[in-house]
Structure 1
Amino acid sequence: MRLDPKHKISRKGLTVWRLYGIFEMLGILAVACVVSYLTIRNDWPQWIHAIGITLTLLSLIFSVIIFPKVRWERWRYEVREQEIEVKHGLFIVKRTIIPMVRVQHVDTTQGPILKKYDLSNIYISTAATIHTIPALAMNEADELRARISDLARVAEEDV
């Protein structure tokens, strides 16, 4: 069996994923507040109120604390001359090998939160799908994008 890819994504990616978890949790909190309001206003049973609080707390624990950490620890990638290997997953760990000859183009993107933390996502497009390497330091993402592009060009010339 092959060794795991050796490169990890930036540690700042953990912070960004936790922020995304907070945004998701705020949506759940809004729903829980509406349910709590309706429970009090309409004299519904108190267990409905308790379920809303419990779900909000579980959401906080899982989407902000546990899931981002596990996701960050499992994310690995490696760019070789003939292929790109990506390993990721939360419950099911997925390993993908992308042959360089299949790479059509490589993009980097940066939204406002990634920009604040000087991070960028890399999108590797093939004919069939788009693969992502998330939360890389901006300079590392630019270098990796250029390297993949060069290797894909060389692989295409060899075919």
Structure 2
Amino acid sequence: MRGQPTHRISKKALSVWHLKGVISTGLLLIIPAALFFFSYRLQFPLFYVWISGILVAGYGLWNIVVLPKIRWSMWRYEVYDKEIELLRGVFIIRHTLIPMTRVQHVDTEQGPIYKKYGLTAVTISTAAGVHEIPALSEAVGSRLRDKIAYLAGTEESDE
């Protein structure tokens, strides 16, 4: 029996997940702000403002500080000749084996936040769905995409 996958995603994933946590928490701050506004306009208790503010602060603390570290420490992947192994999760640990014979195509994706940090995600498409290896450096992502495409026999002749 082999051990767990050894390759990690980029440490820059922490910065990306911190930023995404800040953005989502910032958007949620609209709720206590709206409740504060309505508490004066409609004369309902400030208790709701305080409760919503505490809940948003707790969510922000979890999503900005704690969750990214746990996600990064759990994420592992390995590419073998006949399969791809993914290990990830926080409360529920998902251990996925993708046979190379099932890979239909493989892509790299890079949104604006990933581009800012020089990262890319590799997506592996099978008939059962799409699997993603997030937050890889651009060089590692390109090499991994090409390696998987070669091993799966899906590589394009001129690209």
Equivalent AA in structure 1 for residue 30 of structure 2: A
CA separation in 2, counterparts of 1:83 and 1:118?
27
What code does the residue aligned with 2:76 have?
R
Q: Distance in 1 between matches of 2:88 and 2:74?
A: 6
Cα distance in 1, alignment partners of residues 136 and 64 from structure 2: 20
Matches within 5 A, 1:127-142: 127-142=127-142
**Per the alignment, in what secondary structure is the counterpart of residue 29 of structure 2?**
helix
Unaligned runs of 5+ in 2: 155-159
Question: Residue 49 of structure 2 corresponds to which residue in structure 1?
Answer: 49
Where 2:38 maps in the other structure, the secondary structure is: helix
User: Secondary structure at the residue paired with 1:17?
Assistant: helix
Residues 36, 52 of structure 1: 8 Å contact kept = no
| Counterpart code for 1:58 | G
Shift of 1:42: 2.0
Partner of 1:25: 25
Name 2:82's counterpart in structure 1: 82
State the AA in 2 paired with 1:145: R
The TM-score, its normalising length taken from structure 1, stands at 0.93
Deviates more, 1:135-144 or 1:52-61: 52-61
Q: Structure 1 residue 122: deviation in Å?
A: 0.5
Among all aligned residue pairs of Structure 1 and Structure 2, give the percentage whose two residues are the same amino acid: 43
Q: How far 1:90 sits from its partner (Å)? A: 1.5
Number of residue pairs the alignment of both structures matches:
154
Q: Which amino acid aligns with 1:15?
A: S
TM-score, L = length of structure 2? 0.93
Structure with bigger helix share is: 1
Q: 2: CA distance between counterparts of 1:27 and 1:82?
A: 44
Rounded to whole Å, the distance in 1 between the matches of 2:122 and 2:35 is 40
Matches within 5 A, 1:2-151: 2-151=2-151
- Matches of 1:32 and 1:76, distance apart in 2: 38
